[in-house]
Structure 1
Amino acid sequence: MDEGIGSPGRSTRQQERQRAISEMVMAEGAVRIDQLAERFGTSQMTIHRDLDELEARGLVRKSRGVATALSSSLVESSDVYRTGQQQEEKADIARAALDFIEAGQAVFVDDSTTVLQLTKLLGSRTPLTVLTNVLTIMEELKDTRGISLVAIGGAYFNWCSAFMGSMTTDAIRKLRADVFVMSTAAIIDDVCFFQNQATVEVKRAMFESSATRILLADHTKFTKRALYALAPLAEFDAVIVDAKTSQEDIRRLSSRGVNVVVARPQSLHPQQSAG
């Protein structure tokens, strides 16, 4: 039965249902709205209202009777969903990216979930100055000894847990870093693409304010679509991919002068001896 306005516990039940809906959609990628109504024993109208709130928070998308966590060429999926995808590959890429970070450097990092994996490893490269517009990375690094954190503000966007807009880009352009580490939503014709122009503007500002640019891209990026171009892969100092990336893609990029680094899977990393 639907909850009436003013019913006791309505807010708590609604929050619990919305959390369960978001978890279900993120686990399955896409779920029909009528399935959600049946699963939670409520009307489709109530589910629509729940999804409207979740969409406003950047957690899911609603389109043609389907709730989805998947990105399209126009809309990026939420960072909550992306964090759970290709976890092993992202971890492999992050370990490989750590080789490009040296103690004493200033490092720009973007809002990608692959870069988030890298930030968990930065404690081994201290002292470092990390510059970021990403709230989740700020939370990750704020108590890490040896890391000086430069937080870049602006207008906050839930779907990527990051600050963007003119205030953000203006602040970035006044800074200079040794390294910029970023990922991409899609690779089309060997060019980085994103679904959001504001995202491109922030990353472009970081790109232009850094001496060395490193791109992290798991194999799925070569099959995805997005609308706004950022830069050709040839403009990066290194492009780090995972071991599942096709040999055809690797050969093509190498032939075009791209410095392609293939991250070794964790299972192939030498184990430390017991003593």
Structure 2
Amino acid sequence: MSASSSDGGSDAPARRPARRQAEIAAYVVQHGTATAHELVEAFGVSLMTVHRDLDALEHQGVVRKYRGGVSAQPTSVFESNVAYRLNTAQAQKQALARRARAMVEPGMSVMLDDSTSALALVRLLEDVAPLTVATNFVPAVSLLTAMPDVRLIVLGGIYSPTHDSFGGVPCAEAVEALQTDLLFCSVSAVSPTHAYHQEQEIVLVKRAMLRAARTRVLLIDNAKLRRTALHRLAPLTDFDLVLVDDQAPAEQVAALRDQGARVEVVEV
């Protein structure tokens, strides 16, 4: 992972700490553990800044500090962290995105949640324009602003550094003001009957997105079938299509279909 530029003793502009903390989290995911001095060298900041960032990440449940270093915290809260998600199941997400791309036609309005599965789709949209795209995910916004034929609607709200997205009641209200042709979204976990997410405030926005789209598509890599999460989002039958990669066990795919979900297996 490339190191950040030196902060010269300053953390301006205001967004820099959140971005750097996400990069530190990704570094720890990649290496498993890291010492504070290792992070100083990698990111070109002071030891005090590193400890401040690690305290913030530990408070979020992303890492576990120990004397002299830090390790990844393999919890469902950690799995919600954007830095972790950007580094997992990349081939599966790209395959799901290619299939999702085939559903998008010029002139459509598309809503994307703050999942990295939907982010993989963003990179494929430029040649489908003109499009209207609504999203609350900052990395998606950054990519979409460079696409001249995309009319971008940013769904603002309360910013979360952990997710690098906007959420809360203001975001849900912004979503409810829209009606889009398509929604592409993902979740933390899937049972044979329902989609789940670990965090209640994220569920609030995703439920609003489900209500605001005519066609709703759920993108899940096979790992989601082995996980559990606390909050029930919606029955799988609320989605018009569930896309899952071909590494999902056949019996689990059959269980989804037996409960009435429309499931398509995508080759990776």
TM-score (norm 2): 0.81
Distance 1:21 1:154 in 2: 25
User: What percentage of residue pairs aligned between the two structures are identical?
Assistant: 35
Distance 1:21 1:208 in 2: 36
Residue 62 of structure 1 is matched in structure 2 by 63
Q: Give the letter for the 2:230 counterpart.
A: L
Q: Is the 8 A contact 1:75 1:195 kept in 2?
A: no
**Considering only CA atoms, is the larger Rg found in Structure 1 or Structure 2?**
1
Q: Give the letter for the 1:228 counterpart.
A: H
TM-score (norm 1): 0.79
Q: Among 79, 87, 106, which residue is 2:109 paired with?
A: 106
Indicate the SS of the match to 2:181.
strand
Q: Among 200, 215, 220, which residue is 1:217 paired with?
A: 220
Distance 2:53 2:178 in 1: 41
Indicate the SS of the match to 2:96.
helix
Residue 179 of structure 1 is matched in structure 2 by 182
1:80 paired with 2:73, answer no
Residues 232 and 96 of structure 1: CA distance in aligned 2, closer, same or farther (over 3 Å): same
Q: Among 228, 234, 239, which residue is 2:237 paired with?
A: 234
Where does the alignment leave 5 or more consecutive residues of structure 2 unmatched? Answer: 1-7, 12-16, 41-46
| Mean CA deviation greater in 45-54 or 161-170 | 45-54
Q: Is the 8 A contact 1:72 1:225 kept in 2?
A: no
Distance 2:157 2:239 in 1: 26
1:146 paired with 2:149, answer yes
Any idea what the Cα deviations from partners look like across 1:36-58, whole Å, max 9, x if unmatched?
258679xx9997544113446x6
Distance 2:167 2:21 in 1: 27
Residues 227 and 100 of structure 1: CA distance in aligned 2, closer, same or farther (over 3 Å): same
- Once the two structures are TM-superposed, the CA of residue 190 in structure 1 deviates from its matched residue by 3.2
- Once the two structures are TM-superposed, the CA of residue 233 in structure 1 deviates from its matched residue by 1.4
1:36 paired with 2:35, answer yes
Where does the alignment leave 5 or more consecutive residues of structure 1 unmatched? Answer: 1-8, 266-275
Residue 193 of structure 1 is matched in structure 2 by 196
Any idea what the Cα deviations from partners look like across 1:97-134, whole Å, max 9, x if unmatched?
11222221111100011110001111122111101111
Residue 158 of structure 2 is matched in structure 1 by 155
Distance 1:89 1:151 in 2: 27
